[in-house]
């Protein structure tokens, strides 16, 4: 069991949604929490709300901007210290048919959901390697396990994140480094990001999802779906059924292929 007390923990997208909930839960565990978020007002609100509980420091960062990420990572390391737990949580979604996406939609989704976690981890990994300890937790999605209409680009970004994240885990194991990597694949979470989604499978409560993520880090879990049966359900179905049969199972029986039909989302999906 990994203790959070005294650890320097950085959360991207930490000023809202499950990121903000994790901030409060980690401060309650006596961790020192750093928030990266694109929304300065929400950072100020979150820092003000939690400052009496413990040490929380906010940085305004657009994680799709490589130069901002590099400059802020250097500032964090120089002014605060080695980040011991990194939670790559920030993400966006554009719920449209693929042909309706703009070039900007595609590039921004891939930059924030797939490229940014890799680049941010690359900047903080040397510090972890230097002390031979650390933990990187990547918040992917169950959308990275199964194809879904009106989620083509989002699914692509999360498939990429899952593949990289678990490959990094294997590399650390191969190199015999005491650095853990956890890949989280939650179902839809009721944070506003997926407003309008209609699902036969229950949509997740944000507090339940946030706590499950923290527990996964504490227990040094490798790959976690929320709820747990999602991984087994999709992998078993994909392994045993023909493509036509699986399309019926996922699309008709579970209704997954229709979940995004009435998607609205919110204006700021970070």
User: 184 in helix, strand or coil?
Assistant: strand
Q: Which contiguous run of DSSP H or E holds residue 171?
A: helix 152-174
Owner of token pair 């590039």: 107
Q: Using only the alpha carbons of the chain, give its radius of gyration.
A: 18
The helices-and-strands tally (H runs, E runs) of the chain is 9, 7
Taking the alpha carbons of 92, 93, 94, 98 in that order, is the dihedral positive or negative? positive
* DSSP letter assigned to residue 32: E
Cα–Cα distance measured from residue 65 to residue 43, given in angstroms and rounded to the nearest whole number: 18
* Catalytic annotation, pick one of 97, 154, 187, 229: 154
Owner of token pair 């390697």: 129
Token pair listed for 199: 């699902």
229 is catalytic: no
Residue 139's CB is within 10 A of a number of other CB atoms, namely 28
Query: What are the angstrom distances between the C-alpha of 96 and each of 70, 105, 117, 213, 229?
Result: 32, 10, 23, 28, 27
Token pair listed for 19: 């990121």
List phi, psi (to 5°) of 249: -60, -50
Task: List, by residue number, the catalytic residues.
Answer: 154
């Amino acid at each position: 069991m990994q203790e959070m007390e005294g650890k320097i923990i950085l959360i991207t997208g930490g000023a809202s949604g499950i990121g903000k909930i994790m901030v409060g839960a980690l401060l309650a565990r006596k961790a020192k929490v750093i928030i990266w978020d694109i929304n300065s007002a929400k950072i100020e609100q979150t820092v003000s709300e939690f400052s009496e509980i413990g040490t929380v420091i906010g940085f305004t960062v657009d994680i799709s901007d490589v130069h901002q990420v590099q400059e802020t990572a250097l500032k964090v390391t120089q002014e605060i210290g080695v980040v011991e737990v990194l939670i790559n949580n920030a993400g966006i979604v554009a719920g449209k048919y693929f042909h309706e996406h703009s070039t900007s939609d595609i590039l921004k989704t891939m930059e924030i959901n797939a490229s940014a976690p890799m680049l941010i981890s690359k900047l903080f990994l040397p510090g972890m390697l230097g002390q031979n300890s650390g933990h990187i937790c990547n918040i992917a999605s169950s959308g990275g396990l199964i194809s879904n209409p009106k989620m083509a680009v989002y699914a692509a970004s999360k498939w990429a994140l899952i593949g990289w994240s678990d490959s990094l885990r294997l590399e650390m194991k191969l190199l015999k480094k005491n650095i853990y990597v956890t890949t989280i694949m939650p179902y839809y979470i009721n944070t506003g990001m997926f407003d309008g989604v209609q699902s036969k499978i229950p949509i997740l409560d944000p507090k339940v999802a946030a706590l499950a993520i923290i527990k996964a880090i504490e227990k040094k879990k490798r790959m976690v779906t929320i709820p747990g049966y999602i991984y087994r359900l999709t992998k078993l179905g994909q392994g045993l059924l023909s493509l036509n049969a699986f399309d019926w199972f996922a699309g008709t029986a579970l209704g997954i292929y229709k979940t995004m039909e009435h998607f609205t989302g919110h204006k700021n999906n970070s």
